[in-house]
Structure 1
Amino acid sequence: MSKYTKEDIFRIVEEEDVAFIRLQFCDIFGVPKNIAIAASQLEGALNNECMFDGVSVEGFVRSDESDMYLYPDLDSFEIYPWRPQSGKVARMFCNVYTVDRQPFAGDPRHVLKQVVEKAAKMGLNFKVNPEPEFFLFDYDDEGQPTTHTKEKGGYFDVAPADQGENVRRDIILNLEEMGFEISSSHHEIAPAQHEIEFKAEDAERTADMIMTFKMAVKTIAKKHGLYATFLPKPTEGISGSGMHINIVAQDEKGNNLFASENGEKLSDTALHFIAGVLSHVKGMTLVTNPLVNSYKRLVPGYDAPVNISWSSTSANRSALIRIPSKRGEGTRIEIRNPDATCNPYLAIALILAAGIDGIEKKMTPPDELNENLGRATYEQLRNSGYETLPMTLGEAIHAYESDDFVKEVLGESIFNKFLDAKRAEWKDFRTCVTQWEIQRYLNLF
């Protein structure tokens, strides 16, 4: 059932003195885009008449098919609490349609919608909650972001060691005004690193919430004179930032399908889901971990998964898939390799689709990882018998283009455009001479 009607939107805009509405969408890399309209133009937007030029959006369309329409999702209407309260600013997420009024195959939101609809036909409703991490750094004297911080806080520290406590508080209060249900927040393991976790929602809403979350964190941090970054590994020698994704599968009555009948073990559905994710995780990694920098985090010794494995032992955080300790209706599956630079629509779509593939084919997962390999070297990992995730963007590109399943889920348009862009990015990096190389080799050769 819909939350809002058109009449509701008109009423709220008038009662709340909303002056501008942002019609929001994103490109294939998850970079937010929007068209801002005045309240006087709202009727046309709600009638799906707002048009934009798709040529200007990364990965969208060619010049001969440039006209796109934005169809607002009425239930996503929210007012930005951090904007002026006189002449307020609101936003609605939009689905992208072609000029002949068909869903645009290159719209990431549409990709996730298709996966969710397939799951619904199978009697599956997925609830998803992410755990995004980020750093709060200083600006330099010219107002440019740096990777510097004077903070020395660590895991679960409090003020004054945790100098971002008030920033997190401000972020949470603003997000709660937008309907987020925040479950926890804390200082993370590295200096200036933080995590805010919000409760599980339907997959499509969760992806929207991740987009909103990242915007809110960056905007509010800047008001406090700090730069927020979701870059996975902004500083060497410390743990990086990830975005663990927790998933629950429910039936039409809301029962947890990942829990066994006695509630103590995992159900066959859960085991099939795990097997599906592990079978496709290499091909998905280019999407879940899309940057050159992402692979600086996925290395041994820094609390990020490296080996392709799973564990029902909640304390074993070296496994790619971990099963937290709650059982029964609290049973969930935690996928630990993604980071928050991913496009959340595409990343969640691929993870869910892989799990569905495992359920459909009744896949069996490999044996559990019973030892903690969090501090293992690559040699020790190889000797353990477990495969590893791609170690570079280049390896991830190769795995991506080799997995026909990923292409099927994303669609040919997104698959090829994403691949072309990442090949170009990897080429740029490989031709770049880094300071590490200069410092390492210049005095030797």
Structure 2
Amino acid sequence: MYSADDVRNMAKDENVKYLRMTFTDVLGALKNIEIPISSLDAALNNQIKIDGSSIEGFLPIEHSDMLLYPDPDSWEIYPWIDDDNKTAAMICDVHNQDGSEFPGDPRTVLKDELAKMNDKGIAQLNIGAEPEFFLFKADEDGNPTMDVNDDAFYFDVEPKDKGVACRRAIVNTLNQMNIHCEADHHEAAAGQHEVDFKYADALKTADDVQMFKLVVKEIASRYGLAATFMPKPITGINGSGEHFNMSLFDKDGNNDFYDKDGKEQLSDLALNYLGGVLKHAKAITAIANPTINSYKRLVPGYEAPTYIAWGTANRTPLVRVPSGRGIATRLELRSGDPSCNAYLAIAAALAAGLDGIDNKIAAPDPVDRNIYDMTADERKAAGITQLPGSLTEALDDLEADKVIVDGIGDYACKKFVAAKRHENEIYRTNVSPWEHSYYFDC
């Protein structure tokens, strides 16, 4: 853990010239304000201001001043900026002008939900993230083309995997920034890649996901490529997901999800947490799959889960319990995609799990069949329902679910839903090239 004095010493020892105070808006976009290192003391004393009226989901123009409270432990130097302009960053919580917590700050939302968990005697939520992304060729001006950079497949090697050098540079950069990766590989679709994070405290993982997106885009541009976290950038092939592996630990470092004598060696607490996640899955979907494009990925036939169920080796349900047990026991929520706000998505899943624990919600029996091969009657008999089929449907489910609304907070929820309803209205009234090709000759 770094202290404010540690940050001062590191800034001096490393001859840092600039500091980026980073934060996240309600939709998940990373933002920052850059200051000269001479203003470091002001930053560490929470004196750096921003205009909240310019940030999605923050404040109206008549009450717009806000303060950034940096987390010293998040201090990192950006490895890709040369020494003459050496730049460090700290991730910040956003506060109101009077110093009170701002309820629309996604990082604060997650911290508050984690505090509720601590109040129940649970010490830590660990998250291992598995974000996917596409690499497209860029033109001479650095703008993305619609050509992916290779035609490789799952786990292919170079030279077929033409993204390996870029992906390795991404991982090396992340490791320099104290973001620990367990594995990286080519994914199932042409031009698609995945980097798997080593599990860590939920807040650090959410912070790391934000930095990861920045690093991927920055490094890709240096290889003449353009990276995208769009869930479904190409018709007819797999889209990009972001799985979250979840586990609860006690204060002694024991995994609360493990019970060698339990069903699938899961504890009652794990099964109740799972029951809560499944019960609230439709509302979680609005947060974990927050774009119109997300629902073009959540369709049968492209590996993304569409049915609310769970299993072990089976990869067709919404939640999977991977093979590791003991300290590695975890629940893998497989529906999310990398367009989501990681802070809000993790908070929503945690809220659902805690509701399951509080109310002892029983998880149904696991499903060991390919759900896509089951008939509608068979799914109905097994109690298997479907995720929302559109952003509008998911937002309706979110607004109707008090547990998830409370989990991300009424303020953040209203701002999020309003922004997404507006986005959907723009899409609804926009005339697309597809419509021209189908209807122009009517």
Q: Same fold (TM over 0.5)?
A: yes
Task: Give the superposition deviation at 1:437.
Answer: 2.9
Q: Does 1:29 align with 2:27?
A: yes
* 1:8 counterpart residue number: 6
1:90 corresponds to 2:88 = yes
Question: SS in structure 2 opposite 1:283?
Answer: helix
Equivalent of 2:414, from 407, 411, 416?
416
Could you tell me which amino acid in structure 2 is paired with residue 415 of structure 1? C
Q: Secondary structure at the match of 1:217?
A: helix
Confirm or deny: 8 A CA contact 2:231 2:338 kept in the other structure.
Answer: yes
CA offset digits 1:46-70 (Å, max 9, x no partner): 1111111111111101123211111
Q: Structure 1-normalised TM-score? A: 0.95
The answer for the alignment partner of 1:391 in structure 2 is 389
Distance of 1:296 and 1:147 partners within structure 2:
18
Instruction: Name the SS for the 1:208 alignment partner.
Output: helix
Question: Which residue in 2 is equivalent to 1:187?
Answer: 186
Change (3 A) 1:377 1:108: farther
Structure 1 residue 375, shift from structure 2 partner: 5.8
Q: How does 1:17-166 map to 2 (within 5 A)?
A: 17-124=15-122, 125-166=124-165
Query: Which one-letter code corresponds to 1:260 in the other structure?
Result: D
> Is the Cα contact below 8 Å between 1:156 and 1:187 reproduced in 2?
yes
- 8 Å CA contact 2:142–2:225 kept in 1: the answer is no
Shift of 1:16: 0.5
- RMSD of aligned alpha carbons: 1.7
Which residue is equivalent to 2:426? 428
Deviation at 1:212, TM superposition (A): 0.3
Q: CA deviation at 1:425?
A: 1.1
Q: Is 1:342 matched with 2:327?
A: no
Q: CA deviation at 1:376?
A: 6.2
Q: Contact 2:113–2:347 at 8 Å: present in 1 too? A: yes
Change (3 A) 1:206 1:150: closer
C-alpha contact 1:305 1:374 (8 A) present in aligned 2: no
Q: For structure 2, list consecutive stretches of 5 or more residues without a partner in the other structure.
A: none
Question: 1:301 touches 1:376 (CA, 8 Å); kept in 2?
Answer: no
| Whole-Å separation in 1 of the counterparts to 2:128 and 2:396 | 29
Name the counterpart of 2:265: 265
Q: Cα offset for 1:380?
A: 7.6
Secondary structure in 2 matching 1:70 = strand
Residue 421 of structure 1 aligns with an amino acid whose one-letter code is A
Structure 1 residue identity aligned to 2:387 = L
Q: 1:279 aligns to what?
A: 279
What displacement does 1:326 show? 1.2
Counterpart of 2:166, as a letter, is: V
TM-fit CA distance, 1:377:
8.2
Offset of residue 283 of structure 1: 1.1
Give the Å deviation of 1:374: 4.2
Partner of 1:328: 326
Give distance in 1, aligned partners of 2:129 and 2:225: 23
CA distance in 2, matches of 1:426, 1:354: 26
User: Contact conserved, 2:163 with 2:191, CA < 8 A, in 1?
Assistant: yes
Q: Which letter does structure 1 place at the counterpart of 2:98? A: D
- Residue 198 of structure 2 is matched in structure 1 by 199
| Higher alpha-carbon deviation: 231-240 or 255-264 | 255-264
C-alpha spacing 1:154/1:380, structure 2 compared with 1 (3 Å): farther
Output the amino acid matched with 2:66: M
- Equivalents in 2 of 1:141, 1:40: separation in Å? 37
- Give yes or no for contact 2:52–2:66 (8 Å, CA) kept in 1: yes
Number of residues of Structure 1 aligned to a counterpart in Structure 2: 440
Once residues 383 and 293 of structure 1 are traced to their aligned partners in structure 2, the CA distance between those partners, rounded to angstroms, is: 31
1:294 matches 2:294: yes
Report the counterpart of residue 309 of structure 2 in structure 1: 309
TM-score, normalised to structure 2's length? 0.96
2: CA distance between counterparts of 1:397 and 1:347? 14
Comparing 143-152 with 205-214, which one deviates more in the overlay? 143-152
DSSP-derived class of the 2:247 partner? strand
Structure 1 residue corresponding to 2:356, chosen from 350, 355, 358: 358
Mapped partners of 1:87, 1:237: distance in 2? 44
Q: How far off its partner does 1:413 sit?
A: 1.4
Q: Quick check: 134-143 or 48-57, which moved more?
A: 134-143
Deviation at 1:181, TM superposition (A): 1.7
- Conservation of the 8 A alpha-carbon contact between 1:248 and 1:331: yes
Distance 1:278 1:262 in 2: 23
1:433 to partner: Cα distance: 2.4
Q: Structure 1 pair 173/306, CA: closer, same or farther in 2 (3 Å)? A: same
Question: Which range moves more in the overlay, 203-212 or 433-442?
Answer: 433-442
2:166 is aligned with 1:167? yes
Local SS of the residue matching 2:144: coil
Alignment partners' CA distance in 1, 2:342 and 2:186: 23
Aligned partners of 2:374, 2:156: CA distance in 1, in Å? 27
CA contact (8 A) 1:112 1:346 kept: yes
- 1:365 shift after superposition: 1.5
